[in-house]
């Protein structure tokens, strides 16, 4: 039964967007409808969908940042809907989230070194000197330098800030990482480097990833399994190559077909010159 790092069952998240005169919900939007998913330890599940598909809301439910309206989520040995006290602290350490824009998720007034050490302090991991050594080692591991520790987030490029966010997540020895559009804002070559880094770290630390993305090229390259969401529902889920080569649903087929290919021999919109 412990074959899963994550097991989410019938997860639903409603948002009340309007109330009547009596204060009762008059309009409810179902951001996530009855979604069930599981992820094996050490693997990557990509959650794919367009804006408004509910993929980020589901990711937040799984990371314990948003409470689902109904359903159950078991992650890293925790019942996510019944977390409190020591179990909540342990969950917060084991499950880390990396967001799209590290500039808004890093505190602009805290040095990069402090930002990386904060988690270790909160979770009472290591002694003061070990924390410092570990922070320096993490900076180097993610492709930065130990002497960058005194600098502040605004002194770094987008790709470097995302490396800092990764170092910060890794500092507390997590088992599960939710990466919500973590490489979407990066330039092509920087995106490639950060994806390679995430893959190496997964192998080194046996990390399990929930990789939320709208970029199908990145997903094909990075994911073991793929779940496609649309309008809050799970359209289909399967092994990566199967989803791309033999999608069962028309929605998935259209999505894959809409990706522009970097191959002028296959263009559809305009004829290529000569």
Partner 1 sequence: MTRDAEVLLSVKNLAVSFDTRQGTVAAVKGVDLTVRHGEVVCLVGESGSGKSVTGFSLMGLVDPPGRVTADELRFDGRDLLRASEREMDALRGKAISMVFQEPMTALNPGRTVGSQIAEVIRIHERTGREQAWKRAVDLLQRVGIREPAQRAKAYPHELSGGMRQRVMIAIACALTPQLIIADEPTTALDVTVQAQVLELLFSLQAETGAAVLFITHDLGVVAEIADRVVVMQGGRVVEEGGVRQIFEQPRQAYTQALLAAVPDVDAPRDRARRLSPPSSPGTEGTPQ
Interface contacts to partner 1, rule CB under 8 A: 50-51, 143-144, 148, 151, 155-160, 187-193, 195-197, 199, 214-218, 220-224, 240-241, 244-245, 254-256, 258-270, 272-274
CA distance linking residue 185 with residue 48, whole number of Å = 16
CA distance linking residue 180 with residue 188, whole number of Å = 18
71 φ, ψ (degrees, to nearest 5): 105, 180
Shortest separation between residue 249's beta carbon and partner 1, angstroms: 14
Across 215-224, b (16+ Cβ under 10 Å) vs e yields bbebbbebbb
Q: Any bridge partners for residue 271, and if so which?
A: none
Shortest separation between residue 64's beta carbon and partner 1, angstroms: 28
Nearer to partner 1, 88 or 190 (CB): 190
Nearer to partner 1, 156 or 176 (CB): 156
Across 167-177, b (16+ Cβ under 10 Å) vs e yields bbbbbbebbbb
Cα-to-chain-centroid distance, residue 229: 15
DSSP element (H, E) containing 75: strand 70-75
Nearer to partner 1, 67 or 261 (CB): 261
Nearer to partner 1, 29 or 121 (CB): 29
Cα distances from 229 to residues 17, 32, 46, 100, 236, in angstroms, run: 22, 9, 10, 19, 7
Nearer to partner 1, 11 or 181 (CB): 181
| Token pair listed for 123 | 């979770």
Shortest separation between residue 219's beta carbon and partner 1, angstroms: 8
Shortest separation between residue 224's beta carbon and partner 1, angstroms: 8
Shortest separation between residue 58's beta carbon and partner 1, angstroms: 17
DSSP reduced 3-state for 31: strand
Nearer to partner 1, 1 or 269 (CB): 269
Nearer to partner 1, 22 or 257 (CB): 257
Nearer to partner 1, 86 or 272 (CB): 272
Task: Confirm if 37 and 8 have CB atoms less than 8 A apart.
Answer: yes
Helices (H) and strands (E) counted in the chain, each on its own, are 10, 10
Shortest separation between residue 63's beta carbon and partner 1, angstroms: 23
Shortest separation between residue 116's beta carbon and partner 1, angstroms: 15
Shortest separation between residue 231's beta carbon and partner 1, angstroms: 13
CA distance linking residue 202 with residue 204, whole number of Å = 6
């Amino acid at each position: 039964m412990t074959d899963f790092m994550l097991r989410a069952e019938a997860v639903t998240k409603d948002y009340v967007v309007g109330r009547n005169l009596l204060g009762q919900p008059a309009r409810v939007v179902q951001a996530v409808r009855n979604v069930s998913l599981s992820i094996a330890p050490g693997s990557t599940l990509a959650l794919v969908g367009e804006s408004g598909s509910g993929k980020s809301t589901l990711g937040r439910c799984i990371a314990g940042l948003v409470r689902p309206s109904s359903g159950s989520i078991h992650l890293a040995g925790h019942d996510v809907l019944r977390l409190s006290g020591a179990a909540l602290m342990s969950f917060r350490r084991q499950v880390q989230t990396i967001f799209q824009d590290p500039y808004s998720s890093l505190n602009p007034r805290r040095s990069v070194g402090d930002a990386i050490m904060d988690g270790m302090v909160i979770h009472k991991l290591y002694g003061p000197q070990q924390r410092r050594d570990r922070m320096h080692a993490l900076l180097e591991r993610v492709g930065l330098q130990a002497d960058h520790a005194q600098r502040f987030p605004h002194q770094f490029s987008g790709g470097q800030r995302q490396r800092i966010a990764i170092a910060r997540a890794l500092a507390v020895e997590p088992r599960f990482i939710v990466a919500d559009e973590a490489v979407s804002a990066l330039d092509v070559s920087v995106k490639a480097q950060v994806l390679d880094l995430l893959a190496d770290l997964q192998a080194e630390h046996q990390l399990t990833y929930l990789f939320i993305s709208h970029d199908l090229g990145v997903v094909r390259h990075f994911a073991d399994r793929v779940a496609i969401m649309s309008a809050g529902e799970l359209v289909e889920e399967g092994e990566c190559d199967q989803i791309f080569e033999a999608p069962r649903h028309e929605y998935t087929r259209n999505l894959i077909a809409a990706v522009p290919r970097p191959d002028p021999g296959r263009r559809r919109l305009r004829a290529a010159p000569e």
